[in-house]
Amino acid sequence: MPLAPPERTADVLVIGGGNAGISLAARLHRKGIADIAVVEPKSTHHYRPMLSYVGAGLRTTRQMSRPQHRVMPRGVRWVQDSVRALDPVARTATLSSGERLGYRDVVICAGSAPDWDHVPGSAEAVAGPHASTNYTVELAPKTWELIRALRRGRALFTIPDGPAPTPQIGQKILYLACDYWQRQGVLQDIEVTLLTPTGTLFGQPDVDRVLQPWVDRYGITVLTDAHVRSIDAGARRLHATVDGTPRDLPYDLLHHSPVHAAPAWIAEAGLGTAAGGEAVAGVESTAGPGTSAAGYADVDPHTLRHRRVPTVWACGDAAALQTTSSGGGLRHQTKVLAANLLATREGREPTARYDGYTVTPVTVQRGRAVFAEYDRDNELAPSIPGVPLLGPSRVLWFLDLEFLPKDYWNVILRGF
Ligand X SMILES: Cc1cc2nc3c(=O)[nH]c(=O)nc-3n(C[C@H](O)[C@H](O)[C@H](O)COP(=O)(O)OP(=O)(O)OC[C@H]3O[C@@H](n4cnc5c(N)ncnc54)[C@H](O)[C@@H]3O)c2cc1C
The nearer residue to ligand X, 236 or 256, going by C-beta atoms, is 256
Query: Is residue 10 within 8 Å of 103, Cβ to Cβ?
Result: yes
Buried b (16+ CB within 10 A) or exposed e, 114-136: bbbebbebbbebbeeebbbbbbe
Name residues contacting ligand X, limited to 235-294 (CB under 6 A).
Answer: 263
Enumerate residues 197-236 that contact ligand X by CB under 6 A. none
Out of 73, 160, 328, 350, the only residue in the binding site for ligand X (CB under 6 A) is 328
- Which range of residues in 36-44, 179-187, 333-341, 347-355 is near ligand X by CB under 6 A? 36-44
381 binds ligand X (CB under 6 A): no
Closest-CA residue to 301 (of 289, 288, 313, 293): 313
DSSP 187: G
Should residue 334 be labelled a site residue for ligand X when binding is judged by CB under 6 A?
no
Q: For ligand X, which residue has the nearest CB?
A: 18
Q: What angle do CA 188, 193, 198 make, to 5 degrees?
A: 145
Q: Is 41 left (phi over 0), alpha (psi -120 to 50) or beta?
A: alpha
Note whether 21 binds ligand X by CB under 6 A: yes
- Residue 373 touches ligand X, criterion: CB under 6 A: no
Query: Sign of the C-alpha dihedral, residues 293, 255, 216, 366?
Result: positive
Judged by CB under 6 A, does residue 166 bind ligand X?
A: yes
The nearer residue to ligand X, 49 or 187, going by C-beta atoms, is: 49
What is the x/- site pattern for ligand X, positions 117-136, by CB under 6 A? -----------------xx-
Choose the stretch contacting ligand X; rule: CB under 6 A; options: 4-12, 19-27, 301-309, 344-352.
19-27
Under rule CB under 6 A, residue 361 binds ligand X:
yes
- Distance in angstroms (rounded) separating the CA atoms of residues 361 and 363: 7
Q: How far is the CB of 225 from ligand X (least distance, A)?
A: 23
Neighbours of 43 (CB within 10 A): 9
Within 10 Å of residue 246's Cβ, how many Cβ atoms?
9
Choices 107-115, 223-231, 367-375, 379-387; region in contact with ligand X by CB under 6 A:
107-115
Helix axes 19-30, 327-345, angle to 10 degrees: 40
Q: How far apart are CA 240 and CA 227, in angstroms?
A: 5
**Of the residues 14, 26, 40, 193, which one makes contact with ligand X according to CB under 6 A:** 40
When the beta carbons of 52 and 322 are compared against ligand X, the nearer one is 52
158 lies in the site for ligand X, by CB under 6 A: no
Beta pairing class for 65-67 and 153-158: unpaired
The single residue among 64, 71, 72, 83 that binds ligand X, judged by CB under 6 A, is: 83
Pairwise CA distance, residues 32 & 342, whole Å:
9
Q: How far is the CB of 42 from ligand X (least distance, A)?
A: 5
C-beta neighbour count of 188 within 10 angstroms: 10
Stretch that binds ligand X, among 175-183, 201-209, 313-321, 340-348 (CB under 6 A): 313-321
Q: Which stretch binds ligand X (CB under 6 A): 33-41, 181-189, 233-241, 387-395?
A: 33-41
> In this chain, which of 6, 14, 16, 332 binds ligand X, going by CB under 6 A?
16
Q: Is 168 in the site for ligand X (CB under 6 A)?
A: no
Distance of alpha carbon 227 from the chain centroid? 19
Burial class (CB in 10 A: 0-12, 13-18, 19+), 248: exposed
Q: Which is nearer to ligand X, 137 or 343 (CB)?
A: 137
Residues in touch with ligand X (CB under 6 A): 15-21, 39-42, 48-49, 51-52, 82-83, 109-111, 134-135, 165-166, 169, 263, 316-318, 325-328, 330, 359, 361
